[in-house]
Structure 1
């Protein structure tokens, strides 16, 4: 099997923490051909969608240590047609490049893409949680999205809570997430100006979200594969930051899913699979869904460490299964066509 990882540059990988490298290592261990490329390396040659790839050279013995593998791996450069791969793993950092999806449109019927082009288009931003029907806010906190400053201020003033969460629509990794309080209303006007108004005269949407009690104690990252949870971790904020994201200084701890979290996964899992979102990261606080991460869900290495598991094995098992199903389907159709032609 040949897999292309559409991702960030190889040189930017942190071998001790990187989930994508963990998946690459597992693929190489199993003897699969692996190539990596960045979205900027996509190209079209003679009407064929291709990519300038860095191909990981075969190794006589693949180191068991991921850190050693990263250090010893060598790469060669070659332009390859994307349709020649069995699978394409989408592992780029947000924000999503819509032009990248346009390139992939031409091969989405030939190659298994995880996650699907259509699913990525629909779910790449924080508005995706609105697709899950939840009129009583049982699994999704009360959320407002707007670029109308007066409306947002009025919403804050009318809220029954003294606290709310404010964040940019297209942020990631905890960037721009702040806790606002009614007691500091005099600062909110300037904050909204900063978040909404851009230097070029345009404006951005912001999200205003109900503050969930217990959020100061951290959140839970759940990894879902084919609609089912395969692992989770508790993310605990640092002493000087309310955010629990690891990139913002948070730390991780072992976590066992609560009944509320299991119910949440059951409610949204089928919709994720229907949309071709096979490998997803959920951010959950108090049993409520805060975000769905579909571009490059992380946490594999952390969950592996605190829970003594190897989640990458389940993920690559799944990819192998999907490729086998696709191959069997192709063979079945080809045999049927042959019988019709011979009749």
Structure 2
């Protein structure tokens, strides 16, 4: 019998573009896989596992050929299949932000971390924006700023984007341009009056990064699995915007990684793979010299390859499943 795979999700955050359903189906069809189960954090019967950390038992949907996105979520209501975490061979984490470190510690204590993709401790390490400092040779100029004076000093050299260290989905990001602070909704404040607005200075500060004038050329998301690029998409901001966000008027289109980005992906893989990161998304922007530079990496609930499959007309979820299984076999011995 093949591997027993458990995918952990939160189905209430899903829409029809979520690629976990295609991934589950590719696992189901894979000759090395025996059974695939999907358990949701939003299933109240799983409260003891996800929230109370008092049980290793889960109610999970057993994937078959008809498993797909259901806008009603009813397939996760009153699930009859009861499984135990320790009966699984491989666990795939597809839980959304915010990152739940207490849960990650709980699951790591009760299941071999080397059999999880991505490994919880690796997600915690790479999920902090400061991790980019380990990759800064691929980034635009960056600096960790913990005081307003440090931000002012860095702004003497560059216009900036400030990112809270634990932010996600663009939350809390601001731009400092020619002495004016601007949030992602277009609200502007003179920098001289902005210190109180920068509330993360009271916590662990910001990762400050040079603002790149070529942002209009788009933010490219590249998905890398087991060191191999499986797909890419270009997110173009709305006219006049500096935010590459489809929900704020931008749009996405098919893209391909260039030679520099392929080298970048390989370099990042060599850093994160020993941390148990088998799949990551990396975002690149065009710098002032016309070359793509690293602006972000994502190792929690990496998706987007379902839409990429339609854009590229190639079986990307199948490639992802193949490479995740290969990564599991390489790391679980």
* SS of structure 1 residue aligned to 2:180: helix
On the 8 A contact 1:88/1:111 being kept in 2, the answer is: no
Q: Take 2:227 and 2:317, find their aligned partners in 1: how far apart are those partners?
A: 16
**Separation in structure 1 between the aligned mates of residue 164 and residue 113 of structure 2, nearest angstrom:** 36
Map of 2:176 onto structure 1: 180
Residue of structure 2 in register with 1:193 after alignment = 196
Structure 1 length normalisation: TM-score? 0.79
Q: Cα distance, 1:292 vs. partner?
A: 1.0
| 1:62 counterpart residue number | 66
Distance 2:200 2:330 in 1: 49
Cα offsets for 1:123-179 (capped at 9, x unmatched): 1121111223x5xx4x111112223112212221x21x3x22122222212223333
Q: For 2:58 and 2:153, how far apart are their aligned partners in 1?
A: 51
Q: How many residues are treated as equivalent by the alignment?
A: 310
- In the alignment, which residue of structure 2 is the partner of 1:336? none
In the TM superposition, what is the alpha-carbon distance from 1:117 to its structure 2 partner?
2.5
| Alignment check: 8 A CA contact 1:232 1:303 kept | yes
TM-score by length of 2: 0.81
Q: Offset of 1:235 from its aligned partner?
A: 0.9
Query: How far did 1:42 drift?
Result: 5.2
Q: Equivalent residue of 1:214, what SS?
A: helix
Please say if 1:250 is aligned against 2:250: yes
Contact 2:238 2:251 in 1 (8 A): yes
In structure 2, distance between residues paired with 1:223 and 1:20: 14
Which residue of structure 1 aligns with residue 126 of structure 2? Answer: 123
- 1:126 and 1:197 mapped to 2: Cα distance? 13
Separation (CA, whole Å) in 2 of partners of 1:270 and 1:326: 14
1:58: how far off?
5.6
Question: 1:101, 1:255 → 2: CA distance?
Answer: 34
Deviation per residue, 1:64-108 (Å, 9 max, x gap): xx4579878565156543111121111122232110121122234
1:43 counterpart residue number: 49
Between structure 1 and structure 2, the one with the greater Rg is 1
Q: Provide the C-alpha distance between the structure 2 equivalents of 1:144 and 1:324, rounded to a whole number of angstroms.
A: 38
Once the 2 structures are TM-superposed, how far is the Cα of residue 295 of structure 1 from its aligned partner?
A: 0.6
Structure 1 residue ranges without an equivalent (≥5): 330-343
1:12: which partner in 2? 13
1:147 alignment counterpart: 146
Shift of 1:209: 0.7
Q: Which residue of 2 aligns with 1:241?
A: 241
* Cα separation, partners in 2 of 1:324 and 1:260, compared to 1, 3 Å: closer
Q: Determine helix, strand or coil for the equivalent of 1:129.
A: helix
For the residue of structure 1 that corresponds to 2:270, the secondary structure is: helix
Post-superposition CA distance 1:251-271 (Å, at most 9, x none) = 111112112212211222212
Shift of 1:56: 1.6
Q: Against the structure 1 CA distance between its residues 175 and 114, is the aligned structure 2 distance closer, same or farther, given a 3 Å change threshold?
A: same
